[in-house]
Structure 1
């Protein structure tokens, strides 16, 4: 035995740095395994001359050196410690008990169960760890033992047993993960409840953090994730996509709708409408400004017409972005993480250039200068433009614009003599001193040109305020009271700029007359009835 240990130490020192950890328990195995005889059919020696070990995959270097002769006594007599490490490296399922070999994988399974097929069964020898070497000498025992190990590793029964063990380990891992994530699942379920409540009540996604804070204050465990407004949006999308309350026909309907929304024609039409509405929305907001004047509105509409004409040859940003995606092929054809596909049922594309020309033509019809030449509005616009120094010629005479000023004074019922003198003074000041501030004589005409209503936006603001004032709890307001409230709401200054002194002085004259009529009503205390009842109950 000492010579065997010495040989092991020498072989270990000369090995290369590939490492395998082998414990003493793996060598000794289960002491309770029975000692059964080897199969006589496997005692024939193979005629092929092979090396006693597996092909050299790199020498094995041990980190756990045996210190007792008991370990070597459990190995087959023809093996050294080095050979055992080589076999254990190649066949991890190999175990050894009382000089006999076995399979740990087959030993753990009593049978293949429902996975067993005809003529495929687990080997009793390998299950009971009773595979031994045959032969009179150690050299003759090596080859049969090696052939048994190789045949067992390639057998269908052993392969099926490994699959069953692997599947069992996966199920065990999944079960343990489910147990570990039980609390996480509960917290996530609560977050989905909150997200569903927000969607059902029509509240914004930004309500989620506030609701989470309230739940935390109430002592509810909601975890630490999915507590942002973006998470609320994602949860709502998932609930809508996985709605189990819909039947198959409804799901098919929504599936068809999703296919249409992801079609190339729909996305192109959507981008076209986006570019158009973006320009029209900007024009609408500009025309609703309170400081807008008639010449300014005319210039804005004329500019929008030119924009639509230019978009025929130079499309908008959204259309170009979508067009680049649609022109791609395969999986790269994605827009906002949605795969764009061609759909023959809804492949009608709006002609981009034709739509832009139609919009420009409709705006030209609304533009006053393109209407009938007998209309007075074009002349009024040109007359108002004269008041701007930027429209004057370089050599502007003092009599420039006299006809236009007189025409505007006739419309607004102003003194044209004073207005013309003020305009001449304005020309002289701009030309000589470079000042752009109009003189006092011209201010009445300039203010009159600014009060022309360009759109119905101000009327719509008034109707909107009237709808706010006449709510369900204030439905008995008279027309006079409603008019008073609308005047204060729409025309009155902010509270910090309001000066009540002027109104108090005018109110004093009628204060004595209305003091009785507007005296504060005395509230009648009816609590005494309940006090008597409480006293009776206490008795």
Structure 2
């Protein structure tokens, strides 16, 4: 083989260029056959030389055959040479990942596994499981998400995932495939025209041992990762209560109806919050000594007059309406801290995406103030269906120093025709 048949060299001095250059010289001097490779220890340079010969001299089927015979003699490698032929580092360096296909499943084996009824049923179960996780993900990405709602959605998702271990989701994909299998009975069952193979016993009632094992493993992985990600939000029995958990006292839907219990409800959590946020509260002029007294009065007021209000509606009223925002201004400082908590980073990601769309290479000269205004409109403005452009158009028409002439070109064409 001549040198011009080899791949192009890499950058000068790189391992790839050095290796290929050496391989090229070695291959020009002598041909290394599989028989020679089988009778001598393989050094790194010899191995790379021979692999390049295999890559360029043989077709795909011949490559696999030659490699299979050589890879079976791994024990002949020297201790200071390549000891693991399946190393991804070696594969990338040599640039011939596709040659290491002997340890992978063949397409026939993959096809046989996908036609198994157990595999088909398990995939339908995964579809139901991922739908629950997808609902949680979409909820946590909402811009108007509040803390109690996020915690409730997390607990609901974990409960539903645990429930999937023993029963199929109502109306879900697993229930549909179970109904299909039950209708066929002992007859040949087909899924999208492909006959399913394997024993169907236990797949329709989730008593199949392998199916139950795989389902429980998948659910346990999902629940474990959720608990690891969201920590104390899913654990009421945590030894150390976090400040995020303490903010739950401001969810008036969980307040007790009994007046005696209501008077002492959340006092410890409010005290913990005041202690944790002491510095920012003092900087804002909050009277820390009056927080507990205002907390008592706020609970009685809400339970008697605002129990029917929503979570966001209640605190919007308290923070914007008189005399509430003045009478309870100290305890409302904690409420404002709670409302400012970022539940997720989805809105930040939307902001980066909006900036990339607005300030593109064709609009790179936009001023900072203009970019900020356009981003605010994009992120917080109304949807196109709800937006009425008439006020903006009227302001544009009347705000110019000279009169706007939106029909100027049309009038100009008409005047030319008249001439």
Give the TM-score, by structure 1 length.
0.39
Larger Rg over CA atoms = 1
Relative to total residues, which structure has the larger helix share, 1 or 2?
A: 2
Give the TM-score, by structure 2 length.
0.49
Structure with more contact order per residue of length (Cα contacts < 8 Å, sep ≥ 6): 2
